[in-house]
Chains A and B, each alone.
Chain A
């Protein structure tokens, strides 16, 4: 325990960890479109930590650099401890700090979801992948610090993987397991991390950790071993990049939904139960009176829930969506279903279709500007509702392109 306490006190993680935690929490809360359900929130916590990547690598690198000067009284070559023990001791110190920061940031974000969201599953796998990701990057930082004697070089080396990560994760939309723990948006409500994907990620992170520790340890005594380990890591990294991330999302084992009766039945995932009252009101307002001209769906259900031909599926794309946002999310899918009368098909985007989507949304949120304010050329009747419904139905006629 004394050794661990000393490792913690000696590590630059003492300074880097609070900063990393604050950055991750700030990112998670500001970018809370991804926060809401437990899987989404955990995924956000893991991804938020990618912001801290330079800090993690830099702090670990400084830990390795700290005693590499032969003028230091702490130069490890003179002690009774072996290089392996010293490297592991340093790694435990910096990794403990960063894991504490990760746990604190994840807990903070999950607490924001607590109480309003009834979790389907606790996101163990997602958080485990996050732990593996951090452990790997502290090892990578130690390896870099062992070889780069100057702070400037270390900073460049710490920032470069971050930029690479950003490029891979957000530039191409196809993140690699090389650096990115998880891709934003992979784990929507009702999905969980596929165990195969998690195992693959963790295997890569283990390889990166072991490789990094070997490279860091071999710096003084066996440089050829370090070079060999670095070569294997680069090879594995290339395989990882070339083979891609694979399928990461998998449906949760048990479908858990909650429904409300209205003009039609409205269902959401149990974790999104807090949307249900507003969503039922929005749906009722949209479909009311439409049955005089069009067949209505039996059910409006959130994406991922089981569907029948008479169900409309739609996706809630942000946290804290109010009636206006819910109406905007629902209107296009409802228009498509009505145009195709429940059969599989697509509706091409046109002015006629867009103004009808807007009309539907306006019915649900009367405070919003009416569609006439945007477009006066499509002849929205200002007469009784029956005339407007007829106008709506006429505009959808022939718009469906069967799949």
Chain B
């Protein structure tokens, strides 16, 4: 079932156009958004999350009519984790997640506890954010994105800066959430794509140039031997086009 429909999405900064007519349908499950630095991954996620008003095109959530990024009720259905999340250090973990729930208009009183449980931060609920490690902070930010169980979850390079154990934990959380929501994980690391699996969308110069499974990307190369080879072949094709 398609949850998020994106049609002809254009976005830019000043005179430069970063996203050039993106068409996208997101279903329940995990989608890796792959691209080189500067391909437009963060801009796409921030636009879908409502941070940036699109220059052109539309984004709609489920059966809801109208543009999701203009409609506050729809925005509440999209969870977003920024690349390097900043938390208010003086607030407790629980208060931060409760604040995020309030911002989204989440009424369920158990939602905060559930979100903390999902990211394994229940035992640190009373801790001040300034006392947390980098990995814990990212988990708190993820809990903010998860609270209220939004049907769409956008994660911008969520594993950058995490140690191997934290990466594994976060991947487990992402896979679990992806069973009932459309989860998009942006990354420029092929190892991350290989570890997560699922669908892969490759963004190149502001446009979607590939949309298939991990295996599909691997077999895109001339000898189907590795993801790197498949991805490199795809980039060569696009550069020469």
Residues of chain B with a CB closer than 8 A to A74's CB = 88, 96, 99-100, 103, 144
| Interface status of B49 (Cβ within 8 A of chain A) | yes
Known pairs A15-B90, A79-B72; A71 contacts B84 (CB<8 A)? yes
Among A12, A14, A67, A78, the most chain B Cβ lie within 10 Å of the Cβ of A78
| Interface status of A66 (Cβ within 8 A of chain B) | yes
Known pairs A6-B98, A10-B91, A79-B75; A70 contacts B104 (CB<8 A)? no
Nearest CB in chain B: distance from A75 CB, A: 7
9 sample A-B contacts, Cβ–Cβ < 8 Å, listed by A number: A9-B95, A71-B85, A73-B144, A74-B99, A74-B100, A74-B144, A75-B51, A79-B100, A82-B72
Nearest CB in chain B: distance from A9 CB, A: 5
Chain A residues engaging chain B, CB cutoff 8 angstroms: 3, 6, 9-10, 12, 14-15, 66-67, 69-82, 86
- Residues 48-61 of B, flagged 1 when their CB comes within 8 A of A and 0 if not, give 01110000000000
Does the CB pair A6–B95 fall under 8 Å?
A: yes
- Residues 75-92 of B, flagged 1 when their CB comes within 8 A of A and 0 if not, give 110101111111110111
Q: How far is the CA of A3 from the CA of B76 in the complex (A)?
A: 17
A-B CB proximity, top 4 nearest: A79-B103, A73-B144, A80-B76, A80-B105
Across the interface, name the chain A residue whose C-beta is closest to B78.
A78
Does the CB pair B104–A71 fall under 8 Å?
A: no
Known pairs A6-B95, A73-B81; A81 contacts B86 (CB<8 A)? no
The residue from B51, B92, B102 contacting A70, defined by CB atoms under 8 A apart: B51
Chain B residues engaging chain A, CB cutoff 8 angstroms: 46, 49-51, 72-73, 75-76, 78, 80-88, 90-92, 95-96, 98-100, 102-105, 140-141, 144-145
Among A10, A72, A73, A75, the most chain B Cβ lie within 10 Å of the Cβ of A73
Residues of chain B with a CB closer than 8 A to A69's CB = 86
Does the CB pair B83–A81 fall under 8 Å?
A: no
Does the CB pair A73–B96 fall under 8 Å?
A: yes
Among B80, B86, B91, B103, the most chain A Cβ lie within 10 Å of the Cβ of B103
Nearest CB in chain B: distance from A16 CB, A: 11
Across the interface, name the chain B residue whose C-beta is closest to A15.
B90
Does the CB pair B83–A6 fall under 8 Å?
A: no
Does the CB pair B51–A77 fall under 8 Å?
A: yes
Does the CB pair B95–A73 fall under 8 Å?
A: no
Does the CB pair B91–A9 fall under 8 Å?
A: yes
Residues of chain A with a CB closer than 8 A to B72's CB = 79-82
Does the CB pair A10–B99 fall under 8 Å?
A: yes
Known pairs A6-B95, A9-B91, A74-B96; A81 contacts B105 (CB<8 A)? yes
Among A3, A67, A76, the most chain B Cβ lie within 10 Å of the Cβ of A67
Q: How far is the CA of A73 from the CA of B147 in the complex (A)?
A: 11
Among B78, B140, B141, the most chain A Cβ lie within 10 Å of the Cβ of B141
Residues of chain A with a CB closer than 8 A to B46's CB = 70
Q: How far is the CA of A9 from the CA of B104 in the complex (A)?
A: 18
Across the interface, name the chain B residue whose C-beta is closest to A12.
B90
Nearest CB in chain A: distance from B196 CB, A: 21
Across the interface, name the chain A residue whose C-beta is closest to B49.
A78
Q: How far is the CA of A70 from the CA of B49 in the complex (A)?
A: 11
Q: How far is the CA of A69 from the CA of B140 in the complex (A)?
A: 16
Q: How far is the CA of A77 from the CA of B80 in the complex (A)?
A: 11
Nearest CB in chain A: distance from B143 CB, A: 8
Across the interface, name the chain A residue whose C-beta is closest to B98.
A6
The residue from A10, A72, A80 contacting B75, defined by CB atoms under 8 A apart: A80
Among A12, A15, A77, A86, the most chain B Cβ lie within 10 Å of the Cβ of A77
Known pairs A10-B95, A80-B75, A81-B105; A72 contacts B82 (CB<8 A)? yes
Q: How far is the CA of A9 from the CA of B86 in the complex (A)?
A: 18
Q: How far is the CA of A69 from the CA of B49 in the complex (A)?
A: 14
Residues of chain B with a CB closer than 8 A to A15's CB = 90
Nearest CB in chain A: distance from B83 CB, A: 7
Residues of chain A with a CB closer than 8 A to B76's CB = 79-80
Sample of 13 further A-B pairs with CB below 8 A, known A74-B103, A78-B49, A80-B72? A10-B91, A12-B90, A15-B90, A70-B46, A71-B84, A71-B85, A72-B86, A73-B144, A73-B145, A74-B100, A79-B103, A80-B75, A82-B72
Across the interface, name the chain A residue whose C-beta is closest to B148.
A80
Residues of chain B with a CB closer than 8 A to A72's CB = 82, 85-88
Residues of chain B with a CB closer than 8 A to A79's CB = 72, 75-76, 100, 103-105
Residues of chain B with a CB closer than 8 A to A10's CB = 88, 91, 95, 99
Q: How far is the CA of A69 from the CA of B57 in the complex (A)?
A: 26
Across the interface, name the chain A residue whose C-beta is closest to B75.
A78
Q: How far is the CA of A72 from the CA of B84 in the complex (A)?
A: 8
Nearest CB in chain B: distance from A88 CB, A: 13
Residues of chain B with a CB closer than 8 A to A86's CB = 103
Q: How far is the CA of A152 from the CA of B79 in the complex (A)?
A: 32
Across the interface, name the chain A residue whose C-beta is closest to B71.
A80
Q: How far is the CA of A9 from the CA of B78 in the complex (A)?
A: 26
